[in-house]
Amino acid sequence: MPRVGVLALQGDVREHVRVLTDLGADVIAVRRPEELATVDGLVIPGGESSVIDKLARAFGMRHPLREAIADGMPVYGTCAGLILLADRIADGAPGQQTFGGLDVTVRRNAFGSQVDSFEVDLDVPVLGDPPVHAAFIRAPLVEEIGQGVEALATLDDERIVAVRQGALLGTSFHPEVTGDHRFHRLLLDLVDERVRRAGADDTAR
């Protein structure tokens, strides 16, 4: 069975572990490069993107994460995780860096503070019916997307809140909070596809 990690430096790690476990995945918390090397896919959870960035550098994780993403590892980032997957941040904290991979520009806390959190139903055609019930908690917003990026969901005013580029997924909202597991299932499908393709390549050799 493919193993999936949840980056466990800061944020709502347990919620993602619980969802992935409920879906039948072999899940581990990832804090160090040697743990990252054992997984076939990764979730970067919500939290404080600037704090996760600093801890990733302190734990020697930034370079291995960038390498894994560049090598095609399926990765799903929620909220802060979306920020960390973005190539560009419109309003990053001083010195803030990202892992990159998604050719997008994001804005942190685009909807305001914690008291401005809200929930809404979103149509996500790639996931089918019913709509996704999405919780936005100090959420970022995707302001620009590159040519190879697919917008998976938008608000009524067409602002983009979910994207995909190859094996990378990002959402402004928190499906792990509202109990909708379809984005996590999509990640697991991407992981299964990559593992099967790698196995086929090994057989061909």
The residues annotated with a catalytic role in the active site are 79, 174, 176
Alpha carbon distance 119, 131 (integer Å): 12
d(CA 162, CA 14): 22
CB atoms within 10 A of CB 121: 10
The phi, psi pair for 120, rounded to 5°, reads -155, 155
Write the CA distances from 187 to 20, 43, 76, 181, 182, integer angstroms: 10, 9, 7, 10, 9
